[in-house]
Every structure is written in C-alpha cells, then in structure tokens.
Structure 1
Amino acid sequence: MLAVKLPSKETIKVVEEPIPIPAKGEVLIKMKASALCRSDLHRYHGKVLFDETEEEANITPGHEPCGVVEKLGEGVTKVKKGDRVAIYLGLGCGICPDCLRGDVMLCKDFQCIGFQKNGAHADYMTIPEENCLLLPEKMDFITGALSTDVGGTLYTACKRLNLNGTQTAVIIGCGPMGSGGILMAKGFGAKVIAIDLDNKRLELAKELGADYLINPKEEDVLVKIKGITHNTGCDGAIVTAGGSTPLNIALNAIKKRGSVALIAESNKAQIDPSNQFIRTLNTLMGCWYFNRSDWEEIANFIVNHNIQLNKISSDTFSISEAEKAFPLFDSGKTQKVVFTWD
C-alpha cells in the first residue's frame, strides 16, 4: 500500500508499506477520504506537537479520515466488514473520568492518530473498533471525513454557545474551520457575521450562508457590528484565527453576558480581563474536538439540516500526489484539501 511520510522539514515522501494487520480489538480500514489539516502542516514545517518522540515523528500523518471496514481483528463485535465509518482521532486510557465521559482528548494518556500512531494519509490504517463512527447512509465520504475535526468541533462550539434562530454569531477567520462554523451556525438558525482579511474567503462565506461580511482592512469591524446588532453586540463569537487581534475582536464584539468559543491554536494572546470579562460577565471557552458520545447527534444534524460540508473541500488528490497536495494547502489559497480513493 501507499503511505505518506514526513521524513524531514518540508519534505514529503510517498512510500510502499505492507498493509497493516489489525490487532486484537482493532479493525483494518480501507481509506476513502482523508483531509489535510493545519496540524499536519506543523509537522510538515518540522514542529513537534503532542510531545512526539523522534520515532513518532516519522509515522504516517492524517487525522480526519473516512473509509470502509475491510478486516476485523480478534474480539471485534461492534462493527462489521463493509461498515462505512469516520474515525475518532483520539486514543486514551479508556478508564479515566475523561475517557468514560467521552472526552478522550482530555485523557492524560491522550494519543492522536497521525502523530503518535500511524494516521490516515495511506491506503489502509488500523484503529480500535471503539474509534469507528458509523456514517449515516446519506453521508458521502468527503462529508464524513470533514464531519469529524471540522463538523464535530464546530457543532460543539455552536451548541455550547446556545445558538438559535434569535441570535447573531460572529465568526472570525473564514478558512476551513471558520467556513465549517458558518455552515453549522446557520444550521442552528443564527444570523452569521463573517470576518476575514481575504475577500475570496469572504465570497465563499457568502455562498455558505453568511448574512454579513466584514473585511477589517476595508471597514471598522466594531462599528459595523454595532450597526448590525442595533448597538447591543453579538450573542456569541467563534474564533478560528490565532493571535491577539482576532480574540480581542471577538471579546469586544459580543454583548454583555455573551460568549466566545476559541478554536484557533495560539501560544499567547494579550486581552483586557477587567473590561472584557469582569465588567461584562462574558465567557471565554476553549473548544477542542468533540465528545465521542455526541457523534450520532452530530452526524444526524449534518444530514437532517443538509449541512454541505463538502463545499469546503476545494481540492482533491490521490495519495500518490501528496507532494503536490501539502504545498498547495500550505499556500493558504485553498479551503480543505482532501485525499480521496475510488
């Protein structure tokens, strides 16, 4: 089988490997779609995430996958050959309170496919059966792949913000995650204000259903938001762009007792706690992936509300074309780049 490797900084290799054999409790997945993520680019640029060892830095990347169960390991009873599945990226101890609650990403022994374990940018991969997320019959494979990292995370953010048809949400950053946020927020019924410095991304935001578009290079963001919200501010904000500026825009754009869901990774940011929290009673919440037990709810929401996540897949490649796919995604000129298989 073919598999992608990142042997050194900004170097992609597609290698031949034996098809892995599922161990006890595992299944073999024949891949159908595997999306590139900004986290893949951290490894592409030689940055280490999740305390990788040197050996782990050479594994196959890919943590937004979808495929078909090809073979069962010993003791597998919950899935069967031929099942169409997305894959939950987190591996945990299985017995701590976080794992038992479904928040595997919070486990002290958390491991992530594509980082500590071989991931999905390959023709086949093995995974514990409990990481298999059954796809609704009407969900295609690209949508299935994008329903995990993008769909699941943004659904969770919208749910925690309590968005509904009476509310206005601002989404700061209209890359793949922000675009997914637009689709999800509209699915919850909210009016959406989309903010980005790139007018092409704002054009897509409009196509995805955003009600208002703001480019901070062309107009005053807060003045525009006050006009839209009749001087009250937004009910909630989703931040998918890193750094101090996007976060401060969000905190200043929401009304009193409003909430901000922070998704963008950022090592540090400077804010004004007194004026943005204490005297406004606002809430800032971290949103990282989704609770595994919520998958059926998320998948049904996407199908029943016709959330067209596949619209944010701008480019598809075969796995043999990985050397083209990574630099293209790294250019920032695309939305989601997805490897696909027939």
Structure 2
Amino acid sequence: MQALRKTTPEFGLKLCEVAQPASPAAGEVIVDVAAAGICGSDVHIYDWSGGYDFLKKAFPVTIGHEFAGKIAELGADVGALRVGQPVVVIPSVECGACAACVAGRLDECRDRRGIGMLRDGGFARYVSVPAMNCLPLPDTMDLGIAALCEPLSIAMSAIKAAAVAAGDTVLVMGPGTIGQGIGLLAKARGAKVVVAGYDDEDRLRNVNALGIDATLDLKTRPLSDALTLAGVAEFDIVIEATGVPSTVQAGLDLLRPSGVLVICGIHGAPVSFDAAKLVRNRHQIRGTYRASRATWGEVRDFVVAHQAELAPMVTHRLPLTSAIEGFEMARNKIGSKILLMP
C-alpha cells in the first residue's frame, strides 16, 4: 500500500510503498482509513520548521493523526467492535506500564506514543491501532466530518481550560481548524466570539460560515479593533491557537484584570511577555495540549450531532497521491481543513 512518510530530519515527505499491517495483536485492530486531515503539526513535520525533533527516533514513520475509517480486521479481546464498524481514532497511545497507567489514570501517562508521530498513522490505506482508541460512530456518519474530532478535541480542551461560560467575551487568535473549533464551541456555550487571523482570507471566510460573531484580518486592521467588534473595553478570555510567539503578549494586552489566556498553539521557540504587567493585572496563563478520554467522548457526540453545522470546516478532499499538493495548500493557507482520502 502507499503511505505518506517522514524519513529524514529535513524538509519534505515521501509517498512510499510499504507493506500492509500484519494481522492485529490482541487488543488491536486494523482500520481501513476513509479520511485523514492535514494538521498544522503535520505541516511543521513536513517543512521541518521546529518543535518535532522527538520524531527522529521513529523514522521512517507514516504520519497523520486526524483520521476516521472502518474496522477491517480484529485482534483478540477487542470488546464489542465489529468488522465494518465506523470509528474515529484517538491518536494518543498510553504506555500501560507507568505509575499513572497502573493506577488507572491514563490521561496522566508519562510515556505515551502518538499515532502518526511515534507509530504509524493515518496517511495510508490501513493502520493498526489499539481497540481502546477506537470510538464507534453511526453507520451513516460522514467519515470526513468525523476526522474533525481530533482538532475539535484540542478545541474543547482549550474551552475547558478557559472555563468559557455564557456571557463571556472571547478572542480567538488563529482561524485554523482548531481556532474555528474553539470559536464554534465557545459560541455554543453562550459566549460572544471574535476570531482573528493574519492574511487568512479563506479560513476567516470559513469562520463566518460557521456562524461565529465576528472576524478580524490583521493584515488590514489592528488587533485592538477586536474590542470594537466585541463591543467591550477588554476581553474576558483570550485563546491563542497560532504558535506565533508575539501573539501571547498581544493577547495579554487585551485581557481584563484577572482574565485568562489559554495557549494551545505549539511554539517552536521560547515565548516572552511582560511578567510585571501580568502580575499587576492578576492575569492567568494556562496551557492545554491533548484531550482527555472523557473529552474525546464529548467531542465524538458533538460531531455526530452537528455534522451539517461542521461541514464548512472541510473545504478539500484529495486522494493520497495528491498529498504534497494538499500540504502546500495548507502551508499557504488555502482553504480550511484539507482531507486526504486513502
């Protein structure tokens, strides 16, 4: 089968011919991948722009961690899963051996391995995954929309970290899929939302298609205009989803005293900010990364219930043979979520 792989610590990916996964071990299944999304993390792996040196020990590795498909083959002891069952896959695999895992606190595992990072992922026709990482979906589910569960799980984690509530004003910095998801989920909680991006016309248009209150293109207007769009003097919450270091201080500058700034963007370099100003304003900075298994369950249910509402987030569906074209589109901020269809 063909698989999109990272093989060397430099720019680029390779579409390779590889063997299909062997028959699954106990507790594992083979998923026939229907759709896999190109994530911002995948783009950084592609252009090797920093922050992913930990992948070197896994080379060559098939990437792709946002995917859904159908069960093709079952190992022993996989519970109620069945061949042909549509599933979305949680891409974080716990070690099962550390103190947290032994105690049943899987979300605190210190030695987890990411599917599509440290073990082969979803940019291939078939992938072997733990059965416990498969969340069942309805037979009628659009599996392209289901592939949005992974970025939406990050968005939901950011919403929870910020404790967004009805009546809050929220500035989302970054209009990518995660930023779009944050905006949509914040709006669903009753918050007033502004999403800002820089020279990002396609994705800001997608934000509008999702029914989010207001957007701001920083190429033509200053970030301070977000306050005018929200009708406030300061934001209650700022959520950074860009990975651009300068956005952290820029967000803090628009935050009310005792307000919360959540960082969910992956930064390839250290971030600096005015600590004295942060202390005097009693600002809080919170980080969020992968989602808990409980959050994944919530997101799966949300995606199943809101397929039509989420549809504008997916703008392109390409064959795996057009993967590099899709990655270049993502690098150049063309469209929104780009799916590869193995």
| Superposition TM-score, scaled by structure 2 size | 0.89
**Partner SS, residue 317 of structure 1:** strand
Instruction: Report what 1:79 is aligned to.
Output: 81
**Partner SS, residue 52 of structure 1:** helix
**Partner SS, residue 62 of structure 2:** coil
Are 1:101 and 2:105 an aligned pair? yes
Distance 1:214 1:15, change over 3 A: same
Instruction: Report what 2:332 is aligned to.
Output: 331
RMSD of aligned C-alpha atoms? Answer: 2.3
C-alpha separation between the residues in 2 aligned to 1:256 and 1:90?
36
C-alpha separation between the residues in 2 aligned to 1:65 and 1:32?
8
C-alpha separation between the residues in 1 aligned to 2:200 and 2:77?
53
Q: Deviation digits for residues 40-81 of structure 1, max 9, x if unmatched?
A: 223322467262345x22111111110111111122224222
* Preserved CA contact (<8 Å) 1:240 1:263: yes
C-alpha separation between the residues in 2 aligned to 1:146 and 1:311?
11
C-alpha separation between the residues in 1 aligned to 2:51 and 2:30?
27
Report the Cα offset of residue 260 of structure 1: 1.4
1:28-107 mapped onto 2 (5 Å cutoff): 28-46=30-48, 49=52, 51-54=54-57, 56-96=58-98, 98-99=100-101, 100-103=104-107, 106-107=108-109
Report the Cα offset of residue 136 of structure 1: 4.7
Report the Cα offset of residue 32 of structure 1: 1.0
C-alpha separation between the residues in 2 aligned to 1:298 and 1:11?
30
C-alpha separation between the residues in 2 aligned to 1:138 and 1:253?
44
* Preserved CA contact (<8 Å) 1:243 1:268: no
C-alpha separation between the residues in 2 aligned to 1:81 and 1:308?
29
Report the Cα offset of residue 131 of structure 1: 1.0
1:245-324 mapped onto 2 (5 Å cutoff): 245-266=246-267, 267-276=269-278, 278-304=279-305, 308-324=309-325
1:187-266 mapped onto 2 (5 Å cutoff): 187-198=188-199, 200=201, 201-222=203-224, 224-225=226-227, 228-231=230-233, 233-266=234-267
| Superposition TM-score, scaled by structure 1 size | 0.89
Letter of the structure 2 residue corresponding to residue 4 of structure 1 = L
1:147-158 mapped onto 2 (5 Å cutoff): 147-148=149-150, 150-158=151-159
* Preserved CA contact (<8 Å) 2:156 2:295: no
Are 1:185 and 2:186 an aligned pair? yes
Report the Cα offset of residue 28 of structure 1: 0.8
* Preserved CA contact (<8 Å) 1:41 1:330: yes
C-alpha separation between the residues in 1 aligned to 2:205 and 2:113?
37
C-alpha separation between the residues in 2 aligned to 1:325 and 1:220?
31
Report the Cα offset of residue 101 of structure 1: 3.0
Deviates most, 125-134 or 86-95: 86-95
Instruction: Report what 1:113 is aligned to.
Output: 115
Report the Cα offset of residue 16 of structure 1: 4.5
* Preserved CA contact (<8 Å) 1:319 1:340: yes
Distance 1:168 1:97, change over 3 A: farther
C-alpha separation between the residues in 2 aligned to 1:39 and 1:218?
27
Letter of the structure 2 residue corresponding to residue 73 of structure 1 = G
Distance 1:175 1:283, change over 3 A: same
* Preserved CA contact (<8 Å) 2:192 2:230: no
Structure 1: 5+ residue stretches without partners:
none
Distance 1:176 1:288, change over 3 A: same
* Preserved CA contact (<8 Å) 2:173 2:247: yes
Are 1:170 and 2:174 an aligned pair? no
C-alpha separation between the residues in 1 aligned to 2:13 and 2:86?
32
Report the Cα offset of residue 135 of structure 1: 2.3
* Preserved CA contact (<8 Å) 2:94 2:106: no
Match of 2:136 among 134, 137, 141: 134
Distance 1:306 1:64, change over 3 A: closer
Percent pairwise identity: 25
